[in-house]
Chains A and B, each alone.
Chain A
Amino acid sequence: MLKSIIKKEILLNLLSYKFSIIIALSTILILVSIFVMYRDYCLALENYEYEILGSKSENPPAVIPPIPLSIFAKGLEENLCRSYESGRVGGIDVSSTQKSVNTLFKLFTTPDLLYVIKVILSLCAMLFAFDIICGEKETATLRQSLSNNLKRPTLILGKWIGGFSSFIVPFFIAVLLGTIFVTLSPMVDMNPGNLLKLGLFLLGSVIYLAVFFSLGLLLSCLTHRSSTSLVISLFVWAMLVFLIPNLGNILARQFVEIPTVQQLELQREQIQIRTEVEVKRLQTWPEKNKAIERANSEREMLAEDYRNRFNRLVTVSKNITRISPAAAFTFLATDIAGTGMLEERRLKSAFLQYLDTLRNWNEEGERPAFAYQRSSVQDALGLGGLSNCLILVLFNILFFSGAHVAFLRYDVR
């Protein structure tokens, strides 16, 4: 019986107007997004090569190459591919990014696959599911189905499997086409490691989309008219995808007080100037050295305090926003792709360690070079990645069991 229900649900979807419009939209968007981001990646690669080429004769700056997975989940890649150099007053000079030249990029969001899945496909998943139960009630086919020897759990499970598979298969085909295009491109090195990460990213996407499908199903079981279900579905979607993640960011700042970067830079500069004056006044070199050391440690303390506060801000923000599956998915996807907060933190601490190595280098032998390896799959899943995945699974279980319970008591008349 389960098979018949799945088959019926798939057929019903395939023949609907909703299916054609949603599939056309998502396929076009996925392909456009992959193509646009591929060109963006090529430009980033070009920039990286120029950066390396331009610094052959000088001390090379610390810079890492762009990762091919940024085509799918750009995340913080633009920031990660900036070059870092030791600057004045114990500060760090950061190069400007390609995007900083066209100011319009600041106004809008990056249209990568992550964005398409997180925002548009999640909406499509809800549109697929919002009338699964109440729609059938309105057309009076639900009561006919249940008047046969058919268990309600079988019916709802069949509807879930049939509906979700008819939604997810075209998505996979579009992504597959895009991936083939990217893999065949000579500019992109999609090694097995990257393919494994891409596989995990897609698995995460399926779990994420299943959350919204289950949520749509739950709302369909809680309402008796598809128009009501649709209105509620759209509001819940807007809350989960836009409201909570975006609100969490500003809410976290209310709990953790953090000075602006400008203030930090100004304080550093002041310490430096004070020290210059003091050093000039002092007579002996031991005294001067002492003053310089004191200033250095003062600056380091300032930076460390700022970074500690900042890490606390990120943790609080992460915890608040993870109430939303969209935020949990963003963290999961960007961490897997190596373009997320995890990578940012790792890269920055690696550079700070490198600065320490440079300070201890006594100018004998070759100058130490900056070496950095992006996080592996284990790293990404170990440091919070798995918990994000578990949150998504938990949402799925919660929404599906909610739908199941609601459907058991659903009045089909």
Chain B
Amino acid sequence: MLRTIIAREFLDNVLNLRFMIGLVLCLIITVACMVILAHDYRQELADYNHRVNLQDEFLRNYATRSRILRMIPTQKPPERFRPLIIGMSGDETSNSFDDNPLPILFPSLDFLFIVTIIMSLLAILFSYDAITGERESGTLRLVIANSVPRTTILFGKFIGGAASLLIPFILALLVGVFYINLNPNIQWDGSAWSELALLTAASITFIALFYLLGLMVSTFSRYSAISILNCLFLWVLLVLVIPNVCPYISAQLRRVPSIKEAQRRDREIEIQSIRAAEELMRQSAKEFKLKYGALFSEFESMGSGSEPQKATQQRAQADPKFKSMMDAFRQESEKATQELVRIRGEGQEKLWGDFNRKVAAQTRLAKNLACISPLSNFVYVARDLTGTGLRSLEYFDQVKYEYSGPSGPFWKQVYKKEEEARKNDPTFREDTSFLDLGDYPRFVFREEPLKDKLGEVLPYWGILGLFNVVFFAAAFARFMRYDVR
């Protein structure tokens, strides 16, 4: 009997106008979107290659220690899922004078948009009258009059309806993926295809969730007109309101101090540390004056800079007492500098540690609050799985640090080259002499392993599954007591 109900529900939907509209819409939007984004990807790849070449050329021809700091070769390649999902931009793009503000006004169209807006709306349109529609047309009581358990009816309706709903989606996705597969610029490996399969599975979970929401609302309503209004009300709340409001609510509940105030306090700490060091130096100078008298006054009058330094050295070589005083004073200066670094370090660590803790608490709260909405859960799953979300930005920073951090391969190579240069050329100066870095180890960005990604997304995927179970259970409980007349 279940098979009959599934087949009937499936046919009923497939022959409906909404199926045709959904199919055409899905095919056109998904394919158009993927073709455009694939073209975009090609452009971004060319841009990325150009940037890498620019940096290579620089390191071959102009590298010195001070310049390297301005051009560390860690360019982020476009995400491999760029033809499907537009990744998030890092701070280097958003903090630029010439950044593009258009995406702020109109977020770009991609696969995520298709699933979260178009498919969820379509799912609701497919299911809002699954029960009420049949009650209104009088077919529900005819079905119930036979020996068909209500559970079978509800389950059959869910399977048949969801299957008919998924046809436009899967078909459109297949056509899009076929295009991507044919594109010579996009080469996906096994892990990318696995991620795509998981992304499809997560999308199906999300779409089924909205189908069940419609089914549940339908069992709670007597008329289709009321059911659709309730469905749209919930859809607006879950898709358009909750995810967008949550970051703002969390910003009110867990206040983060103004970033400008933090930066101002940072500057104050720096000034305080300089003043403390200056005070220390003044004290030392006073003590030295008392101890050495005219000798120290002479040392002070010699001043600093490269020329006076030579004169001081010569004077120190000629007079051992002068030398011992100079060395002692240098030690005091060193102490003052260390004190400066200590005060600044402690102050800044406390300030930014506290600030970052508050930011992390706010972000965590916002993320957890937004989990009330299935859209947020799906966005976390889809973005983190495909390496296009916040986690990918953090991961990139981590990989970048591993490469260009103090103990990374890049600096190791720089130190090695410096060592060689010093041996070969006694006049070599660390800051200004040219370093041949033509054979430096290239920065290669490798995607985060799928296992790690899965570990991160599974809780959110679990919540999506839970929503499915809750909606089905509610629909089931209500349908058991549904008055079919």
Which A residues are closer than 8 A to B by beta carbons? 17-18, 21-22, 25, 29, 32, 36-37, 39-40, 43, 46-48, 50-51, 53-54, 75-76, 78-79, 82, 84, 91-92, 94-98, 100-111, 115, 119-120, 123, 127, 131, 226-228, 230-232, 234-235, 238-239, 242-243, 245-251, 253-254, 257, 259-267, 269-270, 273-274, 276-277, 303, 306-307, 310, 313-314, 317, 321, 327, 330, 334, 340-341, 344, 348
B269 proximal to A (CB < 8 A): no
B233 touches A21 (CB 8 A): yes
B70 touches A246 (CB 8 A): no
| Interface pair A127/B229, CB less than 8 Å apart | yes
Name B243's closest neighbour in chain A (CB-CB): A108
Q: Chain B 344-359, CB within 8 Å of chain A: the 1/0 string?
A: 0000000000010001
- Please tell me if the beta carbons of A249 and B97 are within 8 angstroms of each other in the complex: no
Instruction: Flag if B92 contacts A262 (CB, 8 Å).
Output: yes
Interface centre among A43, A102, A226, A257 (most CB of B within 10 A): A102
- A104-B370 contact in complex given A109-B107, A231-B21, C-beta closer than 8 Å: yes
Residues of A within 8 A of B44 (CB): 260
Residues of B at under 8 Å CB distance from A?
17-18, 21, 25, 29, 32-33, 36-37, 39-40, 43-44, 47, 50-51, 54-55, 57-58, 62, 67, 70-71, 75, 86, 88-89, 91-109, 113, 117-118, 121, 125, 129, 224-226, 228-230, 232-233, 236, 240-241, 243-252, 256, 258-261, 263-264, 267, 355, 359, 362-363, 366-367, 370, 376, 379, 383, 389-390, 393
Further contacts, 10 of them, CB under 8 A, given A78-B104, A120-B241, A344-B101: A17-B226, A97-B259, A104-B246, A104-B250, A107-B243, A109-B107, A123-B236, A232-B21, A235-B25, A238-B121
How far is the CB of B395 from the nearest CB of chain A, in Å?
A: 13
Give chain B residues whose Cβ lies under 8 Å from the Cβ of A314: 102
Residues of chain A lying within 8 A (CB to CB) of residue B251: 39-40, 43, 102
A262, A269, A317: residue with the most chain B Cβ atoms closer than 10 Å: A262
Known: A120-B240, A266-B55, A306-B98. A238 touches B118 (CB 8 A): yes
Q: Are B366 and A47 touching (Cβ within 8 A)?
A: no
Residue of A nearest to B63 (CB): A273
| Measured CA separation A227–B355 after assembly (Å) | 54
| Min CB–CB distance A344 → chain B (angstroms) | 6
Distance from B67 Cβ to chain A, minimum over Cβ atoms (Å): 6
Closest residue on chain B to residue A352 by CB atoms: B97
- Give the docked Cα–Cα distance between A165 and B36 (Å): 42
| A277 and B62 form a contact (CB under 8 A) | yes
Cα A108 to Cα B252 with chains together (Å)? 17
B232 / chain A contacts, CB cutoff of 8 Å? 123, 127
A64 to B325 alpha-carbon distance, docked (Å)? 54
What is the minimal beta-carbon distance from B133 to any residue of chain A, in angstroms?
A: 8
Q: A378 → chain B, closest Cβ, in Å?
A: 23
The reply to whether A243 and B62 contact each other, CB–CB distance below 8 Å, is: no
Would A76 and B104 count as touching, CB distance under 8 A?
yes
Q: Closest 10 A-B residue pairs measured CB to CB?
A: A54-B264, A50-B260, A246-B109, A92-B97, A111-B244, A245-B106, A36-B248, A261-B96, A104-B366, A108-B244
**25 A-B contacts, Cβ less than 8 Å apart?**
A18-B229, A39-B248, A47-B258, A47-B260, A54-B264, A54-B267, A79-B99, A79-B101, A96-B259, A104-B247, A235-B25, A242-B109, A243-B29, A243-B109, A247-B33, A250-B37, A254-B36, A259-B50, A260-B47, A261-B96, A306-B98, A310-B98, A313-B100, A317-B102, A348-B97
| Distance from B230 Cβ to chain A, minimum over Cβ atoms (Å) | 7
The chain B residue with its CB closest to the CB of A239 is: B25
Cross-interface CB contact of B117 among A96, A110, A231, A242, cutoff 8 Å: A242
Taking the nearest CB of chain A, how far is it from the CB of B470, in angstroms?
22
A267 touches B47 (CB 8 A): no
From B43, B89, B104, give the contact of A253 (CB < 8 A).
B43
* Residues A274 and B62 in contact, CB atoms below 8 Å apart: yes
Give the dominant DSSP class at A's interface: helix
Write out the residue numbers on chain B whose beta carbons fall within 8 Å of the beta carbon of A226.
Answer: 225
Question: Bound state CA distance, A108 and B95, in angstroms?
Answer: 19
Contacts of A79 in B (CB 8 A): 99, 101, 104
A-B contact count (CB 8 A): 247
The answer to whether A247 touches B109, judged by C-beta atoms less than 8 angstroms apart, is yes
Inter-chain CA distance A277–B92, complex, in Å, is: 27
Inter-subunit contact A98/B67 (CB<8 Å): no
Please indicate which of the listed interface residues B57, B225, B370, B393 has the most CB atoms of chain A within 10 Å of its own CB. B225
Complex Cα gap A395–B246 (Å): 34
> Cα distance A110–B247 when bound, in Å?
9
Q: Please, which residue of chain B has its CB at the minimum distance from the CB of A26?
A: B236
Cβ contact within 8 Å between B256 and A102: yes
| A46 and B258 contacting across the interface, CB-CB below 8 Å | yes
Q: Which one of B105, B258, B366 contacts A341 once the chains associate, using CB atoms below 8 Å?
A: B105
Check B125–A234 contact: CB distance below 8 A.
Answer: yes
Q: Tell me if A263 and B50 are in contact (CB < 8 A).
A: yes
Q: Is A91 a contact partner of B97 (Cβ separation < 8 A)?
A: yes
Cα distance A209–B55 in the bound complex, in angstroms: 52
Question: B158 to nearest A CB, angstroms?
Answer: 20
A253 to chain B, nearest CB (A): 6
Which residues of chain B have C-beta atoms less than 8 A from A257's C-beta?
Answer: 43
**Contact A111/B359 with A261-B98, A303-B98 known, Cβ cut-off 8 Å:** no
* A101 and B259 contact, Cβ closer than 8 Å, known pairs A92-B97, A227-B129: yes
Which residue of B has the minimal Cβ distance to A119?
Answer: B240
B91 (CB) vs chain A CBs: closest residue: A100
Report Cα–Cα, A82/B98, bound state, in Å.
Answer: 13
Give the chain B neighbours of A238 by CB distance below 8 A: 117-118, 121
How distant is the Cα of A363 from the Cα of B303 in the complex, in angstroms?
28
Bound form: Cα–Cα A227–B258 in Å = 51
A43 touches B36 (CB 8 A): no
Knowing A47-B260, A238-B118, say if A269 contacts B71 (CB, 8 Å): yes
CA distance A265 to B98 in the complex (A): 10
Bound Cα distance from A238 to B37, whole angstroms: 20
Interchain CB contact under 8 A, B260 and A51: yes
Asked whether A246 lies within 8 Å of B101 as measured between CB atoms, the reply is no
Cβ-defined contact, B233 with A266, below 8 A: no
Distance from B477 Cβ to chain A, minimum over Cβ atoms (Å): 23
Closest B residue to A334 by beta carbon equals B105
* B-chain residues with CB within 8 Å of residue A341 when the two chains form the complex: 101-102, 105
Partner of A111, one of B99, B248, B258, B260: B248
What is the CA–CA distance of A409 and B367 in the complex, to the nearest angstrom?
A: 54
- Of the residues B70, B96, B241, contact of A94 by C-beta under 8 Å: B96
Q: How far is the CA of A334 from the CA of B250 in the complex (A)?
A: 26
Tell whether A263 pairs with B226 under 8 Å between CB atoms, given A54-B267, A79-B101, A247-B109: no
Chain A residues near B86 (CB-CB < 8 A): 250
Assembly CA distance A42 to B213 (angstroms): 38
Contact (Cβ within 8 A) B62 A50:
no
CB of A69 to closest CB in B, whole Å:
16
Q: Which residues of A contact B17 (CB under 8 A)?
A: 228, 231
- Compute how far the CA of A317 lies from the CA of B145 in the bound complex, rounded to whole angstroms: 59
Chain A residues within 8 Å of B129, by CB: 227
B36-A250 in contact (CB<8A): yes
Whether A104 and B363, one on each chain, are in contact in the complex, defined by CB atoms closer than 8 angstroms, is yes
* B21 / chain A contacts, CB cutoff of 8 Å: 231-232, 235
